[in-house]
Structure 1
């Protein structure tokens, strides 16, 4: 009898883990809104591709994925999801302001699982990579979560978590994600950085929604809209320490030097 594979894995494991320079916890755990017994464990790593891949004709190794659940199965309590990106792909995500990709740059020490000197330098690069574009990206991700919450947009009107709808009247995870993204977008735009775990007031607001302690969806949507308007106003007025665009020259120069140094040390 054939053995049924119980996990999902694709990409080049040896390249990803062998060239890893940074890995941190991401997801609810690093935000400070994990609920014991309900959340999975998410990690994100960054690795340097070998020189023949970057400079030669070999296929690129953009990312590696490992999940303790089978393909297509939803992760649950106790499951681990790891995605590792090549440094080149990761930096492209960061300069675009991808909310999840930014998390390893701000993860607290207790959430950092792998860190090399290049990983430290990558984290220190955050001010050069951030821009007002990240604020717009946070709003985009927030809108996507709100659309899923309301059953509109590109996703099906059928909720992904009908058990939450049956229990609370709406998908509290989508709602908490939307509220978290709104508050984090506001912090990013007004202060130029992210605090992880989230500051206490914002953390408790997102956690309260996620626990189902806010039964009135109308009030939750109103709070999301209020924070959204504050982010939009700051961006429109230029009332932000963030530059309009990332410093691509500085990011690219560091990336090139980081690759050269990594290759010299791993011949």
Structure 2
């Protein structure tokens, strides 16, 4: 793969990792341009476990980012990268232009609501409670990220106070309905005026993708 950007995401990036945590990696790659015009299109995503790694093809990655997908979007806001290329740097410089107010609100609240549903449905045995606490931590993290994006147009991947999030996750695992108040509070804040535009700059994203295709085109041999 022609990897453009790659780095460590998940609990390690958030500052929530513990001794048994997996190390999750996320990246984006450019398919050879000629392969996009054949009978069969190349795979848009490569996902493996042990280690947990996801790579999205450039077009799919940008579509996810334009939809404000919380997981895909993190790739543009990491403090450190394992792979960082000039084309990757170009997209990092465009990261704020890919965000938009309703997109952030719908995506982040949608993912947080999913975590709330999982939190409420967990069996309260030892394994179920551990998973519930993890769902709660994700919920808290998503709400904090949504509020930061809405008010500043910036995303800080590493949590400001990971220990507070751990403690709150344990508390919400014991009292899941408390999370409903957190969701409602963030939803109210995201409906107030913020720093994000009404729509993303799709033209800038399209122009970047054209540069990726030009850079990875190899003419056919005679």
Question: TM-score normalized by structure 1?
Answer: 0.74
Q: Which residue does 1:116 correspond to in 2? A: 85
The RMSD of aligned alpha carbons is: 2.4
Shift of 1:252: 0.8
2:207 maps to 1:253: yes
Equivalent positions of 1:222-261 (< 5 A) are: 222=178, 224-237=179-192, 239-261=193-215
Q: Which residue does 2:174 correspond to in 1? A: 217
Q: Indicate how the Cα distance of structure 1 residues 216 and 129 shifts in structure 2: closer, same or farther if over 3 A, else same.
A: closer
Shift of 1:246: 1.1
Contact 1:52–1:58, Cα closer than 8 Å, also in 2: no
1:29-75, CA deviations, whole angstroms, 9 ceiling, x for partnerless residues? 111111222x111001100011122233332320111212xxxxxxx
Contact 1:105–1:122, Cα closer than 8 Å, also in 2: yes
Shift of 1:97: 0.7
Contact 1:189–1:231, Cα closer than 8 Å, also in 2: no
The one of 127, 140, 164 aligned to 1:164: 127
The one of 23, 45, 51 aligned to 1:63: 45
Unaligned runs of at least 5 residues, structure 2: none
Contact 2:11–2:17, Cα closer than 8 Å, also in 1: yes
Question: TM-score normalized by structure 2?
Answer: 0.88
Contact 2:31–2:216, Cα closer than 8 Å, also in 1: no
Distance in 2 (CA, whole Å) between partners of 1:84 and 1:63 is: 6
Distance in 2 (CA, whole Å) between partners of 1:20 and 1:253 is: 19
Contact 1:23–1:43, Cα closer than 8 Å, also in 2: yes
Shift of 1:263: 2.9
Distance in 2 (CA, whole Å) between partners of 1:29 and 1:130 is: 24
Distance in 2 (CA, whole Å) between partners of 1:136 and 1:35 is: 30
1:94-115, CA deviations, whole angstroms, 9 ceiling, x for partnerless residues? 0001100011111112xx1111
Contact 1:53–1:61, Cα closer than 8 Å, also in 2: no
Distance in 2 (CA, whole Å) between partners of 1:192 and 1:241 is: 6
Q: Which residue does 2:31 correspond to in 1? A: 49
1:102-135, CA deviations, whole angstroms, 9 ceiling, x for partnerless residues? 11111112xx111111111121110111111122
Distance in 2 (CA, whole Å) between partners of 1:245 and 1:228 is: 24
Shift of 1:216: 6.9
Q: Which has the higher contact order (CA 8 A, sep 6+)?
A: 2
Contact 1:164–1:172, Cα closer than 8 Å, also in 2: no
Contact 1:162–1:171, Cα closer than 8 Å, also in 2: no
Distance in 2 (CA, whole Å) between partners of 1:51 and 1:208 is: 48
1:150 aligned counterpart, secondary structure: helix
Q: Indicate how the Cα distance of structure 1 residues 125 and 245 shifts in structure 2: closer, same or farther if over 3 A, else same.
A: same
1:192-218, CA deviations, whole angstroms, 9 ceiling, x for partnerless residues? 111121223xx33222244x3x37733
